Amino acid sequence: MRVHVADHPLITHKLTVLRDRETPSPTFRALAEELVTLLAYEATRDVHVVEVPVTTPVAETTGLAIATPRPLVVPILRAGLGMLEGMVKLLPTAEVGFLGMVRNEETLQPDIYAERLPDDLSDRQCFVLDPMLATGGSLIAAIDYLLARGAKDVTAVCLLAAPEGLKAVEEATAGRDVTVVLGAVDSHLDENGFIIPGLGDAGDRLYGVV
Ligand SMILES: O=P(O)(O)OC[C@H]1O[C@H](OP(=O)(O)OP(=O)(O)O)[C@H](O)[C@@H]1O
Ligand SMILES: O=c1cc[nH]c(=O)[nH]1
Ligand SMILES: [Mg+2]
């Protein structure tokens, strides 16, 4: 597994505002999108491309276009939905599939409650969006799901991760083509499986308490 942790003052600044418990939902949503666009730049570094001819006003040359099959962006509902617009802004030709997952807050086990994805993901590059990588259970389940359907590789874009969860994803995906791009790696998980210092419950902060 490849891991890339962002190291840029703008990203840390925006994350700092997200962490602040006084930041209201509208600002939180806007910042989550901006952060994804910045992280997407790194996440798409190995996106498949093909050479194409292009005629400029003064010459013939070659450039690059996104290859087919088109990349698939998969936000993990609910909280990952807050990252979708920021990602497709940078990758407008991507297709979008959805996975609905909820973590049981007692057992910390993930449950898939909704799925809307192409049946065949052969040769697809998949980009999973979820702001929080806590125990890693949700991301491991999402990656397993996509690879089982034939995805070629999976890149996860997360705003925050706990070291425990990152290690769990690394162990569970050994030998497979998985990349994780992160805004920051925090200190640890608390006894409730929350990222410390973190930002609280990302879904609730984006969309309200359920
Ligand atoms: O790494 P894990 O321990 O699996 O936890 C992380 C998951 O928890 C959150 O979702 P949640 O289950 O709260 O659903 P929500 O997005 O609907 O709030 C988060 O968005 C991840 O999907
Ligand atoms: O800190 C955490 C852990 C799981 N899910 C969240 O939204 N936040
Ligand atoms: Mg939640």
**How do the domains of the chain map onto residue ranges?**
2-207
**Hunting for tokens 């600044």 — which residue is that?**
13
Which helix (DSSP H) or strand (DSSP E) does residue 165 occupy?
helix 163-172
Residue 159 scores a pLDDT above 90? yes
* Distance between CA atoms of residues 110 and 8, nearest Å: 32
Alpha-carbon Rg for the chain in angstroms: 17
Is residue 101 in contact with ligand 2, taking CB distance under 6 Å? no
Q: How confident is the model at residue 209 (pLDDT cuts 50, 70, 90)?
A: confident
Q: What is the pLDDT of residue 174?
A: 95
SS3 176: coil
* Distance between CA atoms of residues 118 and 96, nearest Å: 9
Q: Between vectors from CA 170 to CA 165 and to CA 173, what angle results, nearest 5°?
A: 120
Average pLDDT over residues 97-120: 95
Q: Specify the fold of 2-207.
A: Rossmann fold (3.40.50)
Q: How confident is the model at residue 192 (pLDDT cuts 50, 70, 90)?
A: very high
Q: Which ligand is nearest to the CA of 105?
A: 1
Residue 210 scores a pLDDT above 90? no
Candidates 128, 131, 99, 154; CA nearest to 33 is 131
All residues with CB under 5 Å from ion ligand 3: 201, 203
Is residue 194 in contact with ligand 2, taking CB distance under 6 Å? yes
Active site residue 16: no
Q: 185: which 2 tokens?
A: 């790696």
Sequence-distant (≥ 6) Cβ neighbours of residue 22 within 8 angstroms: none
Q: What is the pLDDT of residue 196?
A: 98
Is residue 207 in contact with ligand 2, taking CB distance under 6 Å? no
Instruction: Point out the ligand 1 atom lying closest to the alpha carbon of residue 76.
Output: 22
pLDDT, tens only, 9-58: 999 999 999 999 999 999 999 999 999 999 999 999 999 999 999 999 99
Q: Are 16 and 68 spatial neighbours (Cβ–Cβ below 8 Å)?
A: no
Q: Which ligand is nearest to the CA of 131?
A: 1
Sequence-distant (≥ 6) Cβ neighbours of residue 150 within 8 angstroms: 120, 121, 122, 123, 124
Q: 122 among the known binding-site residues?
A: no
